[in-house]
Amino acid sequence: MERIAVCPGSFDPVTLGHLDIITRASRLFDRVIVLVSINMMKTHESFTPQERVEMIRCVTQDLPNVEVDTSDGLLADYVKKVGAIAIVKGLRAVSDFEYEFQMALANRKLYEDAETVFLTTTAENMYLSSSVVKQIATFGGDISHFIPREILEYIEKRLVKKERLS
């Protein structure tokens, strides 16, 4: 049986922290679907779901068992539809825990045949988040330590132009 994992998130945009989790998940499962989903708590989006999908495709090209998809529905429904056995999420610090724990419990209630698996981030990605990256880029700061090289220029151009002029 193929062991499928779904790695969901907003990925607005994908960071080196996300890429680390996706890469490690790809070693644990036969197939990993990175799912660009909607987080209703995050009201300000910088990139469209399709742009996020394309950025993730670009940075995961060399991971043959990783694919990217998007969903505007419930994560649990998607996981059930594709027959995944796990939801993989990265856990940075204690501050992430309560929120992630709540989502894991809710998802398990909605679909009990999948486990939420938490991978702890590496120490250097501990403080990293898409919102921190966006703030730095918007004010013209250096985000090269946080964003995969292949999409760096695209993100810098988009954020500096779009966010500062709006």
Q: Write the burial class of residue 137 (CB in 10 Å: 0-12 exposed, 13-18 middle, 19+ buried).
A: buried
Of 5-13, 51-59, 117-125, 141-149, the segment contacting ligand PNS by CB under 6 A is 5-13
Catalytic residue IDs = 18, 42, 92, 130
Q: Are 91 and 120 in contact (CB under 8 A)?
A: yes
User: Least CB distance from residue 75 to ligand PNS, whole Å?
Assistant: 4
Kindly tell me which of 1 and 44 has the beta carbon lying closer to ligand PNS.
44
Other C-beta atoms closer than 10 Å to the C-beta of 131 total 12
Cβ(155)–Cβ(56) below 8 Å: no
CB-nearer residue toward ligand PNS: 1 or 41: 41
In the complex, minimum distance from the CB of residue 28 to ligand PNS, in angstroms, rounded to a whole number: 19
Tell me the two tokens of residue 29: 């499962």
Is the Cβ–Cβ distance between 41 and 14 less than 8 Å?
no
Among 59, 75, 151, 159, binds ligand PNS (CB under 6 A): 75
Contact track, ligand PNS, 34-63, x by CB under 6 A:
---xxx--x---------------------
Decide if residue 9 touches ligand PNS (CB under 6 A).
yes
Query: Which residues inside 77-116 make contact with ligand PNS, applying CB under 6 A?
Result: 103, 106-107
Instruction: Phi first, then psi: give them for residue 10, nearest 5 degrees.
Output: -80, -40
Give min distance, CB of 107 to ligand PNS, in A: 5
How many whole angstroms separate alpha carbon 107 and alpha carbon 51? 26
Q: Please, are residues 132 and 15 in contact by the beta-carbon 8 Å criterion?
A: no
The SS3 call for residue 133 is helix
Among 4, 6, 8, 156, binds ligand PNS (CB under 6 A): 8
Nearer Cβ to ligand PNS (127/161): 127
